[in-house]
Amino acid sequence: MKRFLLSGILIAILTFNIASAQTKITVQTEESAGVIDRHIFGQFSEHLGRGIYPGIWVGEDSDIPNTEGYRTDVLEALQDLSIPNIRWPGGCYADDYNWRDGIGPRDKRPVTLNVFWGQVPDENSFGTHEFLRFTDLINAEPYLSVNVGSSTPKEMSDWVEYLTYSGETTLTKERRANGKDEPWKIKFWGIGNESWGCGGNMTAEFYADKYKQFATYARDLSGNELYRVASGKYNNEYAWTDTLMRKAGELMDAISLHYYTLPTDDWDDKGPSIGFGEDQYISTLRNGLKMEDFVIGHSKVMDKYDPDKRVVLAVDEWGIWTNQLEGTTGGFLEQQNTLRDAFLASTTLDIFAKHNDRVKLANIAQTVNVLQAMILTEGDKMVKTPTYYVFQMYKVHQDATRLPLELDSPDYSFGDITIPALSATASKAEDGSISITLTNVDPKRSHKLALSLEGLGSAKISSAQILTADKFNSYNTYEKPNTVVPKSFKGASLKGEQLTVDLPAKSLVVLTIK
């Protein structure tokens, strides 16, 4: 009996020590680790499933409340995210797209076949002018994907002239006749998409030559300077990056990287987006953290040819990819979005911020109704996903100065998988305010954090929010839209330069200090 009593006391003492142990984090508030470019918080909207129709565009005659044909509820929600850029029209769709199909009177535009996604007709009512008006309405910069796989440099150069030239030519007269007198300023241009796969099944050598040809005809007109993004590869395919940097690096401003996180690592059975257990919760987060290895690997290859880091690594497709929801149309890639997916987003954004010397452009896939969406719609109903709120909470880091941060994270383990429990980013805005985002992916264990804010001086916590839920697979529905939403956080205190945070299990916290 005494042995059992002593064992129980010992277990209680050990449990108390584990629970009360502090994780120390040091933040250098007076030092700079470069700027966290706002463009890493970009979005991606492809002509895929219900992403464009009716996720964004319903037309002026729709019964769904709209502004110039765009869903008003979606516009308002996206405006609140301060989205820096949106990539369009694809994706695989881009390399089968002729921009001329989407200009002029809508009732005279051709109906084309979307061969990649569901093989459904596309009425082309959402074309170049509609997309660029959409970016105006949400105050985002457009990022256009050029058709390299099935098009020509002439078709691309005509698009550039149509959009950006201020003089009098047949193309600019056509633009004016279609309602836009002054040219647009359009910076970001992707020269092809996944040219190793759906964009043409090219070899690296062949695409490098094609890229140089297209990039030569992608001209700066009327003071509009093009930022040319080459089509990179995926995951750890470093040889492709090596070939492109060696053969065409001097003609590019960025090279893309695509990486989708699969819960199971199996493209044939990726795992469900709802109802999953802790095994797929932790495997998803582990697979998401591989992004850092890929960023480092491609950056090392780029350093061989570009030690000054002029060429940017653009992660312009990323996010979780699960099995489609039952009952949805094949090829439409509809999935739910849970607290797990929110943590995938926050930890990935932390990786991008940490590697801000190379990663200055990124686009999560996708904005509405497709893959890891910000927003889901059904008829006139709309719901914001947990990932939406991550991007809302991370707005504080846009174009802010990254502060050096030292964190030795405790582990989170389940089965044979062990990953860091904690992830964090700290930044300083132009007004001097400091923001810290803290993610604890451990679903069972809270953590006491002791943050030393060296050089802070006199300040106080001006705002604090937390994103969490009862379960790691919780999600928002049209009937219950507030299951996973940010709430006020009371678990932080600041005394001098010492910030103490009681970070609950499975939570994301953002603190702003002024």
Residue 434 token pair: 């400091």
- Structure token digits, residue 464: 């604090």
Cβ–Cβ under 8 Å, residues 489 and 512 = no
CA distances 473 to 265, 276, 285, 322, Å, are 19, 7, 13, 13
> For tokens 């937390």, what's the residue?
466
| Pairs from 101-106 (Cβ < 8 Å, separation ≥ 24) | 101/127, 102/126, 102/127, 102/128, 102/129, 102/130, 103/127, 103/128, 103/129, 103/162, 103/174, 103/178, 104/178
Cα distances (angstroms) measured from residue 315 to each of 136, 241, 351, 430: 23, 13, 11, 26
Q: Catalytic annotation on 76? A: no
CA–CA distances in Å: residue 451 to residues 17, 268, 295, 390, 501: 19, 44, 27, 22, 8
Q: Which two tokens stand for residue 176?
A: 């004016």
In angstroms, the CA 456 to CA 30 distance is 7
Residues 418, 239, 313, 268, CA torsion sign: negative
Structure tokens given for 355: 């590697």
C-alpha span between 412 and 418 (Å, rounded)? 6
Q: Is 194 an active-site residue?
A: yes
Neighbours of 444 (CB within 10 A): 10
Task: Point out the catalytic residue in the list 46, 130, 194, 334.
Answer: 194
Cis-peptide, bond into residue 54, ω within 30° of zero: yes
Cβ-Cβ contacts under 8 Å for 451 (sequence gap 6 or more): 24, 25, 26, 27, 436, 498, 499, 500, 501
CA distance 109 to 105: 7
In the set 130, 161, 317, 334, the catalytic residue is 317
Q: How far apart are CA 338 and CA 106, in angstroms?
A: 38
Give me the active site residues, please.
Answer: 194, 317
